[in-house]
Amino acid sequence: MYPLRRVWAELKNEVLVLPSRTLVLAWAIALLGLPLVYNDAYVLRILTMTCLFAIFAASWDLLAGYTGQVNFGHALFFGAGAYTSSLMSQKLGVSPWLTVWAGAAVATLVGWGVGYLCLRLRGSYLSLATLAFPLIVLGLLFAFPGFSGGELGISGLRRLALTPTQNYYIAAVAMLAVVFGLWLLADSRFGIVLHAVRDDEVAARASGINTPRYKLAVFAISAAAAGFAGALFAHYIRVAGPSTLEVALSFQVVIWGIFGGVATIYGPVAAVFLLYPLTEWLGSFEKIGELRLLIFAVIVLLVLLFMPRGLAPWVRDKIEVQCPRCKQRNAAWKSVCRLCGAGLKAGASQSEVARAQRLVGHQ
């Protein structure tokens, strides 16, 4: 009984107290439970792609949002994973269950290499230089079509699993694991160092942080996650083509990341879960199918005018408030802080504050 009670206590005290965490829990449960309730191949297909792109967007956020290395060529890592995995499984006949990891490993190396080359660059220079790398690779792929399949790419790949439901669960579980892992990492001491590197690299170095090492590590980790997503993606749609390296994909991930809110991890994931199904859904209409990219861009533009910091921080500010005394977050409808008992609103009644402060042990 004890472990169960422990889990319940954790759930009650850490997750259910904050609306944002409750939302995330509900979303994860819904994601895992969906095929049991509504087993439609089309919906599952869209959600599988959404999950894979969510990994991709979250990995961009770790690099661009937390560390400030705004990467305009993130598709390079996605494509490196996709091409490595598909070349290995196609030419060597290795099972995709193994090549996916190889794809992630090669992407890690590529990420380390790009990071190494870009160590001295910062700001817009870094963004624009990173934009170049996938295009250089793309040029090489087109120039040597014998090896890479040229414009058609490598097609006829094996899938990881046979049924849509199985594929969906692979993507969903992989997404939850990677995104939660990235979020934990970004929330740890490591993540705090990344914030420092972004905000003031000189000050971070003066405080004894080996910033190049951190930047390289983030490039490698972020590339690993993106490459993993790319490899899964290639095996899911059974093609690894030049579209995995194009500028459009790199820009897409930038849009997802900034639309959702940078330096949050959950923001870009939320953005993918909103925008990708939305564009697919718009595309399913015959009349406005042609308009879907236009509608997409207009929505992004309008939302941005009202929430320039991104969607997730905006929503979070609406449903939660920060305690002025202890800086912990509380549900917006609370009048006293759940941790220190300070009044959250100007008009918090005296008796309520006194009662809460007695409860949390304040004088």
Partner 1 sequence: MLQDILVTGLVNSGVYALLAVGFSLIFGVARIVNIAHTAFYMLAAYCFYALLVKGGLGFALAGVIAVAAVTAFSVLCYRLVIEPVREHEAAVLIATIALALIFQELMLLSFGGHYLGIPSTLEGVVRFFGVSIPYQRLLILVVAAAMLAAVWFLLYRTRLGLAIRATANDLEVANLMGMNVHRVAMATVAISVALAAIAGVVVAPVFVVDPFMWLAPLVTMLAIVVLGGLGSMKGSLIGALIIGYVEAITVFALPAGAYLKGAVGLLIMVAVLLARPEGLFGVAFEEER
Give the interface with partner 1 as residue ranges (CB under 8 A): 70, 117, 120-122, 124-125, 127-129, 131-133, 135-136, 138-140, 142-143, 200-202, 247, 251, 254-255, 258-259, 262, 290-291, 293-294, 296-298, 300-301, 304-305, 308-310
Q: Minimal distance in Å, beta carbon 199 to partner 1?
A: 9
Q: Minimal distance in Å, beta carbon 310 to partner 1?
A: 8
Three-class SS state of 135: helix
Q: Please count the other Cβ atoms lying within 10 Å of the Cβ belonging to residue 72.
A: 22
Nearer to partner 1, 97 or 125 (CB): 125
Pair 131, 247: CB distance under 8 Å? yes
| Sequence-distant (≥ 6) Cβ neighbours of residue 306 within 8 angstroms | 314
Say how far apart CA 20 and CA 26 lie, in whole Å: 10
What is the enclosing helix (H) or strand (E) of 331?
strand 329-331
Nearer to partner 1, 92 or 132 (CB): 132
Nearer to partner 1, 41 or 132 (CB): 132
Q: Minimal distance in Å, beta carbon 113 to partner 1?
A: 12
Nearer to partner 1, 133 or 168 (CB): 133
Nearer to partner 1, 75 or 157 (CB): 75
The per-residue DSSP string of 67-106 comes to T----S-THHHHHHHHHHHHHIIIII---HHHHHHHHHHH
Pair 213, 202: CB distance under 8 Å? no
Say how far apart CA 226 and CA 207 lie, in whole Å: 31
Nearer to partner 1, 35 or 310 (CB): 310
Pair 72, 124: CB distance under 8 Å? no
Q: Minimal distance in Å, beta carbon 98 to partner 1?
A: 31
Q: Minimal distance in Å, beta carbon 240 to partner 1?
A: 18
Q: Minimal distance in Å, beta carbon 123 to partner 1?
A: 8
Nearer to partner 1, 176 or 253 (CB): 253
Q: Minimal distance in Å, beta carbon 263 to partner 1?
A: 10
Three-class SS state of 325: coil
Q: What are phi and psi of 320, to 5 degrees?
A: -135, 150
Question: Of 170, 178, 171, 255, which is closest to residue 223 (Cα–Cα)?
Answer: 178
Pair 82, 141: CB distance under 8 Å? no
Q: Please count the other Cβ atoms lying within 10 Å of the Cβ belonging to residue 351.
A: 8
Pair 99, 88: CB distance under 8 Å? yes
Say how far apart CA 296 and CA 82 lie, in whole Å: 26
Q: Minimal distance in Å, beta carbon 12 to partner 1?
A: 36
Nearer to partner 1, 60 or 168 (CB): 60
